[in-house]
Structure 1
Amino acid sequence: MINNFYFSFPTKYIFGINTISQIENELSDKSITRLCVLAGKYSAEKLGILKIIETICHKQNINYYEYKIIDGKASRENIEYINDFLLNKKINFIIAVGGGTIIDIAKTIKSEFNNIEFGVVLTHPASSSESNNSYVYYDNIKNKKIAKRSMNAYPSFSICDPTYMETLTKKQMYSSFSDVFSHLLEQFFAIELTFIDDMIIACLQRVVNLFELYQKKLFTINEQMEYMLLTSMALSYIFSNGRTMDWVAHQVEHSLSEYSIGTHGENLAIIMPAWVSFSQNNQYYSKKLEYLSSKINHNNSKKISGLFFIQSFYSSISENCRLSSMLKNNFILDKYLGTLFDTPLLGRVNVINLEQFSFFFNSLI
């Protein structure tokens, strides 16, 4: 059964090589007088994106500004500073150039501060932030990442040129593959079993194939195009609408960010397979693992279990199977548990209490 749901996708998704030229048309349709580009330290400038946007702005008599996020953090404190800058400069349009962190800063500003419209130029595919209405920021008071959704958080447009992936390091790409695979798995392990699960399994298998090609240095422009499109689809919420799922692995990681030196993807590469293994006897997880096994073994003489398929992928991404190698010296288990458990229970499919989670978490460290 599929539950009732409401879904809207107002973002204009502009995909392909050299599609950044379309920004000129997108800006000309709006009454923009003062534009600010939010970007990281290097990639936007190295790829020539900043110069292209600046040239377009001058052509259209738009005042052009830049704000570079040096520490790469979407903390509430950082966002407040950026918002003050935007207000001071009377900015009325933002272009976020980068990946999830940069885009989420623009989303938070639009949703929770002063409603400045924004567009996206994607350079780091992973989070699907360019194609959904969710955003994550770090709460300095609660000491954890806060994930939210808002209809006000959709980008006006998203420029998705796969050639911009060329600046990404091996570490960034491995983290991206882990993040995308985890997004798909979180949505796969829903209570409901529908045709959507077949679509997710096909995407999971293709992520594995693309990662193998990346490892072999056979990740050509064709694979880059396919991967960028797949990442945008993975968490566009088309797979999760009308379905009941946990998202526990992401909750665990979000509360861990204060205490870990790992990236979001690196942490998930340890947490996600461990959570699935821990949950394998849950009636819904068990049913989905059996279904996954039946699908991946359909034309395969060498039979493997659904759990082994998942664990094998993550072990190819990360040699670490314990969080202890990622934890900072400031990690205190009781403090972490207090941050994570702001409600008595975690999960909606495999529902666990604090005692059950402590058993699970000890297996991670």
Structure 2
Amino acid sequence: MEAMDLLQVLDHQQPRRLRVIENLLRGRRTVSTLYWGQRYHLLPLLDADKHLDRGALTVPAQQLVAANLVTLDSEEDQLLLTPAGQQRQSQVATYYRPQTSGDWLSLDLGAVRQRTLLAVQVTSQYAHSTSRYYPLTTDLATRRIIRQWFHRLKGPQLAETLSVALIQSLQQLPVQTAEAMTDLLTGYQHPGLTVDQVASKQQQTAWEIRLRQRDGLTQIARDARRADHPFHSLLQSLWRSPVTRSAQATLYAVEQGGSLEQVAAQRHVKTNTVKEHLLEAAILSPVAVFPYDQLLPESVRADFATVLNADIDSWQFAQLPEALRARYDFFYFRLYAIWRGRGMMADGTTHN
């Protein structure tokens, strides 16, 4: 991320912690990261840059501060757009806005990328009867899956069928995104450009090109859900719940009526782990499918509602009345904040 990329994920009213943004990009799935990622409306960026070095956003942040585009509360590690920063953010009208980010948490985009790029290369070389070439570097599992896919589908029509399918997907995206995706592909007499090369060609940042690639790959995966799509068997299994399997198992056990302590004993984990699993599920699951009524009954909501009426981001457990802290631990406080933050009112109705 360059300074201008970081500027795009900041706000002029809500201070945002630099370390949360960094951990989100790196895929650090702590409850704190997930919670604040949701509060910042940045959760789709979870695991978007897993190779990002720790502290890599410090220099871009300092550049924004030096340009008077943000203020930095060093004690709280929080960034806030200045009026100049807000104006600059709004002026960058050409900055790329992804259109498929709603599906990013439900798709293993790293695997989609590896499988798509290698499958396109193999198919292209096969169509030109080329048997000697350097395949893209991928992990062993990906190579095995592509080999099985190719031998199952190979034939004189594969290249044309795949070409038509990919064109249909790319036509649903902005022209520059389709061009970036095409430039990043490798095939017969087409070595493929790097992200940095495409960024230079399009005069955008490398981060914007990565966003465009994520859009392109997601659109391809969406279309591959059709049974007649040449990538159906290759990509269908990469759709998954954003909630980890362990958290899903914990949630299921709780839904069956067990107390948090009973579920912890049943699953051979600590009670705090059960609570972390449930908070993860509350953040990443649709509101309608999470058992709020069971874990956060009306009486609990009413108790919190009597003292928590300010902006959610300002809520602090330590500032609750001592009697309330003695009755409910942090788990219920955070679960209530998640419930309220996801559009619920204190009386159980949703925001209009």
TM-score range, shorter chain: under 0.3
More strand by share: 1
Report the TM-score, using the length of structure 1 for normalisation.
0.23
More helix by share: 2
